[in-house]
Structure 1
Amino acid sequence: MNVHLFIPCFVDQLFPETAFNMVKVLEKLGCTVSYNTDQTCCGQPAFNAGYQDECRSVATKFLKDFHTYDYIVAPSGSCTGFVRNYYGKLFDNSAAHNDVKLLRKNLYEFTEFLVDVLHVTDIGATLEGVGTYHDACGALRECGIKEGPRKLLENVKGLELREMNDSEVCCGFGGTFAVKYKPISLGMGEQKVHNASDSGADYLISTDLSCLMHLDGYIRKHGQTIKIMHIADVLASGW
């Protein structure tokens, strides 16, 4: 099975090891993985800041970079959800309409691809400790992803999965939200970290590094011991 990687901006710049671990898992499962080095951003930051024309320009390039009939897989529910749910509005009644339909059909978040397309829930990973899962807004609300990541984590040898309180509540990042509404954002992040720590978890796990980056800022500043991990890093552990 041929798979094209869509690596979001912040993963490329700040957490490249997660992208490599996603490749490691996909190749173990028999996928032929390719990466278009011309790819840039999906346009979500500009869109969320109110710059729709600028976003459309970036999104037009994205459509060109990912014009394929193969699967496209991304380690981000946020970016996946944005493309699926907003590209149709950006290119409504335009010549790009069919390209958008093709892209939305082929694009999957990483865990969604593993569970719903490859029908795999046990990668053979090992990670000793206790983990708790944060439902990132993009994955949960825009992609409908909830049970898949938990099934994958439950099959990680040595990992005890515990639910934290309010696992579906936003972490407070929200991109530009964290800048415009800093006190609210920090308060939401603080509550999320406390809920995760109260579960007794060693690892705070999610599908989205944007959430985890935000939460890790609070963790580091306040000397918390819990560690953040993207689910791709968990699934690539121990083998």
Structure 2
Amino acid sequence: MGKVITIKNNKGGVGKTFITTQLAAGLAYGDKKVLILTSDPQNNVFNFLFKGDKTFKKGLKAEVLKKDGEYFRLRSNLYFLPLEDVKFSNLFLKEIVSFIERVKNEFDYILVDSIPTLKIDEIFLKLSDDIIIPSYADELTTESILELLKTIDVSKVKAIVTNRYKSSSSVHKTNYTELKNDLDGTPILFTDPIESLTFIELMIQNRKTIWEYNNVAAKKVQNIFLEILKVI
């Protein structure tokens, strides 16, 4: 049976899609069959991993209700089922549970790029085996994460990873350290931060993954993701 992992933070701009796509690609390169789902109809996964025609008519909703959604192959072993819109019928919200059970028989991992979209977000969290929380080293995000940990099953939270970190910023250093101290003594992995690098911006622009590079900066980021992959 496949494992469901939701990448979750109620605050925007923390790099949920970046974290999702890099983890998914890492699993796929490790010979695991991986499916990415999203609760965001902007389907930003395309902008990270796909260079072809991203036009589609039938996505997650069609697949859940009629089993005729359009899967996009992003890499070897890595697939994406985009979302049409956020108008969810009661039938869809009921049937998505069966859909998740079905794809767990087809894929080793199902990663959910999650935004707070009412009922579907609750369902994804309930069905998840693990939760990964992306972070940004500012006060609002730190507070958001601490509040989030009060509202979800904290035993599912495997890791918190700080993204777009500026080592030259005293504000970032302070907030990163404070959150790390707040989590001290918990089983949650708190990784080294992922630096805000021009290299990563160019990587995303070229629809590449961190696993497709071999430079020093890439290896440092790869090691952070490898830490997360070890606990999921």
Q: Could you say whether these structures have the same fold, taking a TM-score greater than 0.5 normalized by the shorter chain as the test? A: no
TM value normalised by structure 1 = 0.31
Name the structure where helix makes up a greater proportion of residues: 1
| Structure ranking higher on relative contact order (CA contacts 8 Å, 6+ apart) | 2
